């Protein structure tokens, strides 16, 4: 390992206790998207203590920030997230037991996610100073990944315009860096307005907004036969009326629509909007279409992906304590073995069969998934259209752990999650140093990025006047 990387690792190891404390504080705060005031301040303040210039409240989001150190080129970005999920409060126990019933919890490991990126940025800065490495690093504090795609607002407002490459880390049950893309997505709400009346004595005077919602849903369900194989359409009825003897004058549905490419997605969305208008005509109601958020499909980058895998292998996987193994064993008892096998198989990871009888992932596989598309979505994708971008995973819990689960929350606040944090911070620091010091590698990554995008043009999926919904949790 090179001397500059060793300097970065020394800082991470010497500050391991502090980093775990910060991650655990964010875990305890468990703040929902766009309200991560304590979490974002904690990370931003720490970066400021280490000489970073911090710009807070960017892109119309009070909890978004960018922290910069250094000057000139290249500029390497590191991203971190810190939003929690609603209703997933959980104690640091291997059995389901809410810390505060009904409250949020870090069911996607973003307490680790934000802290690992912050640690990598500071560690890289220390190495740059000691070894006189030229260039700059930027840490992007990214709110609301789970709900409102905060990065898309940051991209739209130009905050990634001068960055040469971006890396980030996400806790997972595997150690990996893959070449899969992901689905583009749009979030749209449909508001129907009718006319209330007594459902028993004078239904003829009413115009049911709920009828319109149900007819629209029926039309969309018939549409499913005529969309491409990898498209996804899912919805909930948020508001359906007040009580049965009143014809509902207002009803609302909320749709997520996904597809591998943005133009495919917009074609399906426009068809769904036409169906909503047809439902309004059939029920003599009115419909208002509210665009909520949208993201693009992800552009992978083999050059940086292979660099990350190389660094993961050179650093070596974490060593677990007896206490860690005991916790993992108890968590594993709560996971259906058949679901674990199904999850491993679905990953399409080469040699996934070897993991069936293992508690923790003990390998770093070669990158896989070139040309494939996962069926989730992430706002990291919009960043990937601006500059070479890779998000990798490190195991923070037992194999088979369901995403967005109480098991995820519990493991993210104990030794399993802590070791994932330290490992990921080292990997990001090493990869950032490589991109700062190896001009040929960075140029190769940028050339690959241009080739993958080709003649396609990025157009922000959110309108210029669309603002982050800062009051959403008050509604």
* CATH code of residue 241: 3.30.70.360
Q: How far apart are CA 37 and CA 28, in angstroms?
A: 13
Q: What is the pTM of this model?
A: 0.94
Q: How many residues does the chain have?
A: 475
Measured distance CA(142)–CA(149) in Å, rounded: 9
Q: How far is CA 146 from CA 107, 216, 356, in A?
A: 10, 27, 29
Domain shared by 20 and 161, yes or no: yes
Q: Is residue 440 part of a domain?
A: yes
- Please indicate, yes or no, whether residues 288 and 304 belong to a single structural domain of this protein: no
Check residue 472 and give its pLDDT. Answer: 72
Residue 474 domain flag: no
* Spatial separation of the C-alpha atoms in residues 152 and 142, rounded to whole Å: 10
Domain boundary among the residues 296, 316, 332 is at 296
Residue among 363, 362, 359, 364 at smallest CA distance from 324: 359
Q: Same domain, yes or no, for 315 and 376?
A: yes
- Of 266, 296, 326, the residue at which a domain comes to its end is 296
> Which of 69, 168, 151, 62 has its CA nearest to residue 112?
168
Based on the domain organization, do 89 and 25 belong to the same domain?
A: yes
Within this chain, do residues 162 and 245 fall inside the same structural domain, yes or no?
no
Q: Are residues 65 and 105 in the same domain?
A: yes
CA distance 87 to 467: 26
Judge whether 466 lies within some domain. Answer: no
Beta strand pairing call for 232-239 and 250-259: antiparallel
**What's the pLDDT at 327?**
98
In-domain check, residue 20: yes
What residues pair up with 176 in beta bridges, in sequence order?
393
For residue 123, what is the domain's CATH number?
3.40.630.10
Q: Are residues 415 and 323 part of one domain?
A: yes
Please list, in sequence order, all residues whose beta carbon lies within 8 angstroms of the beta carbon of residue 385, skipping any fewer than 6 positions away.
Answer: 155, 296, 299, 453, 458
Count how many domains the chain has.
2
What's the DSSP call for residue 85?
B
Whether 17 and 115 share a structural domain: yes
Residues 280 and 323 in one domain: no
pLDDT of the chain, 475 residues: tens digit per residue = 899 999 999 999 999 999 999 999 999 999 999 999 999 999 999 999 999 999 999 999 999 999 999 999 999 999 999 999 999 999 999 999 999 999 999 999 999 999 999 999 999 999 999 999 999 999 999 999 998 999 999 999 999 999 999 999 999 999 999 999 999 999 999 999 999 999 999 999 999 999 999 999 999 999 999 999 999 999 999 999 999 999 999 999 999 999 999 999 999 999 999 999 999 999 999 999 999 999 999 999 999 999 999 999 999 999 999 999 999 999 999 999 999 999 999 999 999 999 999 999 999 999 999 999 998 899 999 999 999 999 999 999 999 999 999 999 999 999 999 999 999 999 999 999 999 999 999 999 999 999 999 999 999 999 888 999 988 766 5
Q: By the 8 A CB rule, do 148 and 87 touch?
A: no
Judge whether 99 lies within some domain. Answer: yes
Q: Does 470 fall in a domain?
A: no
What CA–CA distance (Å, rounded) separates 288 from 265? Answer: 20
Q: Is residue 304 part of a domain?
A: yes
Does 239 map to a domain? yes
* 447 and 429 in a common domain: yes
Residues 341 and 425 grouped into a single domain: yes
141: how many CB neighbours lie within 10 A of its CB?
30
Residues 75 and 52 in one domain: yes
Q: Which domain holds residue 50?
A: 3-180+297-453
């Amino acid at each position: 390992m090179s001397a500059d990387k060793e300097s970065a690792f020394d800082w991470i190891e010497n500050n391991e206790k502090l980093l775990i404390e910060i991650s655990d504080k964010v875990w305890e705060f468990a703040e929902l998207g766009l309200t991560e005031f304590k979490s974002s301040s904690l990370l931003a303040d720490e970066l400021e203590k280490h000489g970073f210039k911090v710009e807070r409240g960017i892109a119309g989001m009070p909890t978004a920030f960018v922290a910069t150190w250094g000057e000139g080129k290249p500029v390497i970005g590191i991203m971190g997230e810190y939003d929690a999920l609603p209703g997933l409060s959980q104690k640091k126990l291997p059995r389901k037991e809410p810390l505060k019933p009904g409250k949020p919890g870090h069911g996607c490991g973003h307490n680790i996610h934000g802290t690992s990126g912050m640690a990598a940025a500071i560690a890289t800065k220390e190495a740059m100073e000691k070894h006189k490495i030229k260039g700059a690093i930027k840490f992007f504090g990214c709110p609301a990944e789970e709900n409102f795609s905060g990065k898309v607002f940051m991209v739209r407002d130009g905050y990634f315009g001068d960055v040469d490459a971006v890396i980030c880390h996400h806790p997972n049950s595997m150690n990996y860096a893959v070449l899969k893309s992901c689905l583009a997505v749009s979030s749209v709400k449909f508001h129907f307005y009718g006319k209330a009346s007594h459902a028993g004595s004078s239904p003829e005077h009413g115009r049911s907004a709920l009828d319109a919602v149900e007819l629209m849903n029926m039309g969309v369900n018939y549409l499913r036969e005529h969309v491409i194989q990898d498209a996804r359409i899912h919805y909930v009825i948020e508001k359906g009326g007040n009580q049965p003897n009143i014809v509902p004058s207002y009803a609302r549905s909320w749709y997520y629509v996904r597809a591998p490419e943005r133009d495919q997605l917009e074609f399906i969305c426009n068809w769904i909007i036409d169906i909503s208008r047809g439902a309004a005509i059939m029920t003599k109601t009115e419909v208002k279409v509210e665009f909520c958020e949208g993201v693009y499909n992800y552009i992978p980058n083999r050059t940086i992906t292979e660099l990350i895998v190389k660094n993961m292998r050179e650093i070596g996987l974490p060593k677990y304590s007896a206490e860690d193994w005991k916790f993992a064993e108890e968590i594993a008892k709560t996971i259906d073995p058949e679901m674990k096998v199904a999850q491993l198989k679905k990953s399409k990871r080469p040699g996934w069969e070897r993991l069936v009888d293992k508690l923790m992932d003990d390998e770093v596989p070669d990158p896989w998934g070139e040309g494939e598309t996962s069926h989730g979505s992430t706002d990291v994708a919009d960043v990937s259209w601006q500059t070479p971008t890779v998000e990798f995973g490190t195991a923070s819990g037992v194999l088979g752990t369901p995403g967005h689960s109480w098991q995820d929350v519990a493991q993210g606040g104990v030794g399993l999650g802590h070791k994932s944090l330290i490992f990921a911070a080292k990997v990001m620091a090493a990869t950032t140093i490589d991109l700062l010091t190896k001009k040929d590698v960075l140029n190769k990554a940028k050339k690959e990025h241009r080739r993958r995008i080709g003649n396609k043009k990025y157009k922000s999926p959110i309108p210029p006047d669309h603002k982050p919904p800062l009051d959403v949790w008050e509604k």
